[in-house]
Amino acid sequence: MKFDVNQIRKDFPVLAQKTRSGKNIVYFDNAATSQKPIKVIDATSDFYRNFNANIHRSAHELSERATMAYEEARNRVGKFFGAPENFCTIFTRGATESLNLVAQSWGSANIKRGDEILLSEMEHHANIVPWQMLAERAQAKILAAKIREDGSLDMDDLLSKVSGKTKIISITHASNVLGSINDINAISKIARSAGAAFSIDAAQSAPHLLDDISKVDCDFLSISAHKCYGPTGIGALIAKREILDSMPPYQGGGDMIENVSWQKTTFRPSPERFEAGTPNIAGAVGFAAAIDYLNSIDLHGAKEHEHKLLERMTAALDAIPKIKIFGKSKEKVSLASFFVDGVHPNDISVLLNASGIAIRTGHHCAEPLMCLLGVMGTCRASMAFYNTEEEVDFFAEKLEHAIKILA
């Protein structure tokens, strides 16, 4: 069915809620987490209501059903994000855990003293801190490719930082602050020609359904379900099986072992090797339901709609005096970070909240980027395909009003 935002909105119950003071909710905090369609809510409760059991361990029927649903979810997630045959989907708690898994497990086996890890100046803490922890242990060095004035990644600088010492390039596909979409195909080629591994943080690009995620040649792809209309506490690391099987386990416990004895423990191959303990089964089922939901809508229309929202939002912000937008690259996901001269971002957020508008303020887990931009924080309005042009206009009107009061 052709994309129709009014129909789509009916799938998301939170959007029909009112604030405590009776205002309609304008939810522009999608980069923090997205709302969930009924399909996802129902799938999660259906699991607990009808076939809750632990997986992989028992011969009884409920366990068999739960195991099938969990493994089927793994297939659906992998397929949706284009995992080829030789890739494996590991369920994690989210993009943060996926990136930690790569840094700790792959990193501890492959990063040695003097090696270099190449990131970028626009990374979220989730793609900085795990590498810093590793670099400190291994006595390796972290380099960060620069960003340009418009918020796009400076590919010349990235290239100039690649050398024989570069062991991995780990870059976000889309910035959670600037919105910039990075050319992961070009970065992949750079990584390949340097013989470096390539890891993509797709936490912010996956929700915007960017095609190249599923086509790019990478080693590790980190995804968070809750930003893609799925439940919280679940995500995926999609990675090359051969590389995964050469990596040491990240956590030890049940389900990830072949045999345990006091003398020696042996481990199962991927994905189980990296899924110690009882996983988030309901989360996986909900994640698969989110994928089914996305597969059931007009994705092309959804993307076009988001693009229109971004254009409208950018034009509206540009028309308001004293606003500086951070991130104006040509390729951008539908979010706008901005700073209002002389006004604390939190004050703006508080006034907007009084009108039912939810935005995010602060450093957005990107303190090094804030430092580079010369601000302690920004306001961020981040949109999803269920937002409307009327909401953008309402937001702009209330923002202008707030600035008049505060500035």
Q: Give the helix ranges, DSSP H, for 153-253.
A: 155-160, 184-194, 241-245
Q: How many whole angstroms separate alpha carbon 247 and alpha carbon 150?
A: 38
Strand partners, 89: 238
Q: Which residues contact 303 (CB under 8 A, 6 or more apart)?
A: 208, 209, 385
Q: Count CB-CB contacts under 10 A for residue 44.
A: 21
Residues 228, 34 contacting (CB under 8 angstroms): yes
What is residue 68's DSSP assignment?
H
What is the C-alpha R_g of the chain? 22
| Annotation says 379 is catalytic | no
By CB under 6 A, name the binding residues for ligand PLP.
94-96, 124, 126-127, 172, 176, 201, 203-204, 224, 226, 235, 365
Q: How many whole angstroms separate alpha carbon 117 and alpha carbon 397?
A: 45
Altogether, the residues listed in the chain come to a count of: 407
Q: How far is the CB of 53 from ligand PLP (least distance, A)?
A: 27
Q: How far is the CB of 152 from ligand PLP (least distance, A)?
A: 16
What is residue 204's DSSP assignment?
T
Q: How far is the CB of 57 from ligand PLP (least distance, A)?
A: 27
Active-site residue (options: 88, 218, 228, 365): 365
Backbone torsion region of residue 34, taken as left when φ is above 0, otherwise alpha when ψ lies between -120 and 50, otherwise beta? beta
Q: How far is the CB of 312 from ligand PLP (least distance, A)?
A: 23
Q: Which is nearer to ligand PLP, 119 or 140 (CB)?
A: 119
Residues 403, 320 contacting (CB under 8 angstroms): yes
Q: Which is nearer to ligand PLP, 197 or 228 (CB)?
A: 228
Q: Which is nearer to ligand PLP, 167 or 173 (CB)?
A: 173
Q: Which is nearer to ligand PLP, 172 or 378 (CB)?
A: 172
Instruction: Look up residue 398 and give its amino acid.
Output: K
Q: Which is nearer to ligand PLP, 142 or 320 (CB)?
A: 142
Q: Which is nearer to ligand PLP, 115 or 201 (CB)?
A: 201
Q: How far is the CB of 181 from ligand PLP (least distance, A)?
A: 12
What is residue 182's DSSP assignment?
P
Q: How far is the CB of 102 from ligand PLP (least distance, A)?
A: 12
Q: Are strands 323-326 and 335-340 parallel, antiparallel or unpaired?
A: antiparallel
Q: How far is the CB of 257 from ligand PLP (least distance, A)?
A: 26
Residues 102, 237 contacting (CB under 8 angstroms): yes
Q: How many whole angstroms separate alpha carbon 331 and alpha carbon 140?
A: 32
Q: Which is nearer to ligand PLP, 172 or 334 (CB)?
A: 172
Residues 352, 366 contacting (CB under 8 angstroms): no
- Which residues are tagged catalytic? 365
